[in-house]
Amino acid sequence: MQNGNGLYITNGLFTKMLLDRQLQSEIAEAYNRYQKNDWGKLCEEDKVQNLEALKNGGRILAAYDTSKGKIYIITDDTQAEPTVTTILFADEY
């Protein structure tokens, strides 16, 4: 991983993705949206917090529906730690 940054998928989600091409496609689409600051189904308060985190560092949260249930994409970006993004089922949070 470059510059200490990382993208991780939980074991639960990864296991489901291995056998489900539709889910693989849905995760890829969600991640593409995430990279464009389209955070899916969030309340206004969470969207405002994401905008603040983009400016000042911190946690960015996104939520998307898939055929296998809701997923979250979460990036933790602090100056003290490397940036880490995790994709997980909502029930794994």
Condensed to tens digits (0 to 9), the pLDDT of residues 32-91 reads 999 999 999 999 999 999 999 999 889 999 999 999 999 999 998 766 667 899 999 999
Q: Are 56 and 48 in contact (CB under 8 A)?
A: no
Question: What's the number of domains the chain is made of?
Answer: 1
Compute the residue count for the chain.
93
Q: What is the pTM of this model?
A: 0.89
* CA R_g for the chain: 13
State which residues form the domain around 18. Answer: 2-92
